[in-house]
Amino acid sequence: CSLTRRLAVPMAPSPELKESLVNGVVVKDVESGDKPDDSSHQGVFLYRLPFSSQSYYMLRPVENVHIYVWIIKDLSWSQDWYYPTLIFGALALLWCGMLLLEAIRARSVYEVYMITGTTLWLAANYTWMAGEVINNDDAKVVPPSAIMMESAIAWFLLYYLVLKPFKLLTIDDEHTERLRAVGLYSRFSFFENWREYEHVHTLLWLCKDLCWNQDQPIPWVIFIIPTLLVGLDFVYITWNTKRMFIDCCHYASQFLWVAGNALWAMGEVFDFKYSDDDQPPHPLFHPTAEAAHKMRWWSSVCLFCAIVPLVLLYLVWYPLTCLELIKAADIEENKHVKNVLFGCGDAKDVADIVEEEVKPPLAHVKSIGTNAL
C-alpha cells in the first residue's frame, strides 16, 4: 500500500483518555470517580523526562542501556579487544533476554514478537563476531549466522506482510495512545505507532547486516541508504518534539553507531584498497597515515563518537537540568509541577495534586506500568 507522509509534530492525546504526563504518571479524570491503584505512589519515571534513579524502572531507559552495551561491543570488535568484545556481547544478549521476559510478564504480545526477532538477530551477530574474534576467521560461523539472520528477517516480514495487514496481531490501543501522548508519531501512516516505525528500522538494519555477512555490495547499498535515512529521521523528529532531548541524544548516538558499522562494511563488501579485512586493526588512539586509509579504523572513530552524545547527556545536560539551569518554557507555565518534571522532586499522590489546585489537565493521576512503552 502507498505510504502517505505525516507531519512530525507533537499532538495532544485523544479526549477519551484525557491523559497528561507527570513524573511517569498518566493523569486521568478523578472527578469522574476514577481512582488510582496502589502503584500510583511508586512515581515511575517517564523516559522522556530528566534523570531520576527511578527512571530505569521504565522500559524505555532499560532499552537505552541495551544500546550502550551493544555500542561498546561493536567498538571492541572493531579494535579486536578480545575480552571486552565477548563480555559486552554476552551482556547485550542477556539484556535482550531480560527485555523479552519483561514483555512476557507485561503480556504484550506485540513486544514479545518483536523482541524475539531482535534476539535472533543479536544471536546471529554474536555468533559471527565470536568466530572472528576467537579464531580470527569467520569462515565457519558465517553460514550459521546467515541462517539466523534470514530467520529473523522472515520473522519481521511475517508481521509486516501478513499479521499486520490482516490484523492477526494488533497493538493495544492504550499502548498506542501513550506513545501519541508524548508526541511521537511516524511520518508514515502505514505504521500504527512509533514502535512499529522503530522496528522497521531494525528490519532494515538486519537486512544490511545480512548483505555484509554475505559480501553482497549492491543489496548492501540498497539497504544501508534507508537505514541511515530512518535513523536520521528519528533524530529530526525528536529534536523537533518538545521534551524529547533525552531521546534525541540516544537516537543521535544510534545514528553514529549505524554509520560506524556502515564504514566498516564498506571497506569489506567492496574489497577495494581501503579495505583492511583479515588485517589487525589500527589502534583507535594512535592515528597514522596508514590508519587514515583504512575504513575499519574510521569505523572505530565513528563508534567512539557515538558515545559522545551520551556523555554530554549524562555529564552536562542532566546536572544542569536538575540544577534548573536549563529550563523548558512550557514547564514555567505550571510551577506546581516544575520540580517533578525536572526530576528533582518526589512523585505526588492524587490528593496532594488536587489539593494544590493544579491547572487542568494536571489534576488527575494514574500510574503507568512498566509496559507503558
pLDDT value of residue 177: 66
**68 pLDDT more than 90:** yes
> Confidence class of residue 49 from pLDDT cuts 50, 70 and 90?
very low
Average pLDDT over residues 158-166: 94
Which region among 57-61, 69-73, 203-207, 344-348 has the lowest average model confidence (pLDDT)?
Answer: 344-348
**Average pLDDT rounded to a whole number, residues 104-111:** 86
Tell me the Cα Rg of the chain: 22
Q: Looking at the DSSP assignment, which residues form a beta bridge with residue 22? A: 25
Q: What digits encode the pLDDT tens for the residues 310-346?
A: 999 999 988 888 888 876 544 443 343 333 333 333 3
- CA 262 – CA 212 distance, rounded (Å): 9
Q: What is the pLDDT of residue 265?
A: 92
Asked if residue 71 has pLDDT above 90, the reply is yes
Share of the chain above pLDDT 70, in %: 66
pLDDT of residue 32: 40
What's the pLDDT band for 232 if we cut at 50, 70, 90?
very high
What's CA 96's distance to the chain center, in Å? 12
Kind plus residue range of the DSSP H or E element containing 257: helix 245-269
With cut-offs at 50, 70 and 90, classify the pLDDT of residue 348.
very low
| Mean of pLDDT values over 296-305 | 94
For residue 182, the SS3 value is: coil
Q: Which of 71-85, 95-109, 269-283 has the highest mean pLDDT?
A: 71-85
Helix or strand (DSSP H, E) at 367:
strand 366-367
Please compute the mean of the pLDDT values over residues 237-247 and round it to a whole number: 86
Secondary structure of residue 26 in the 3-state scheme: strand
Residue 209's pLDDT is what? 97
Residue 107's pLDDT band (cuts 50, 70, 90): confident
Average pLDDT in the chain: 74
Between 164 and 36, the higher pLDDT residue: 164
Domain ranges of the chain: 44-346
pLDDT, residue 150, reads 97
Q: Is 48 exposed, middle or buried (0-12, 13-18, 19+ CB in 10 A)?
A: buried
- For cell 551477530, name the residue: 125
Lowest pLDDT segment from 204-213, 260-269, 286-295, 337-346: 337-346
The pLDDT assigned to 102 comes to: 84
Q: Are 212 and 270 in contact (CB under 8 A)?
A: no
Q: SS3 sequence, 27-82? A: CCCCCCCCCCCHHHHCCCCCCCCCCCHHHHHCHHHHHHHHHHHHHHHHHHHHCCCH
Higher-pLDDT residue of 55 and 100 is: 100
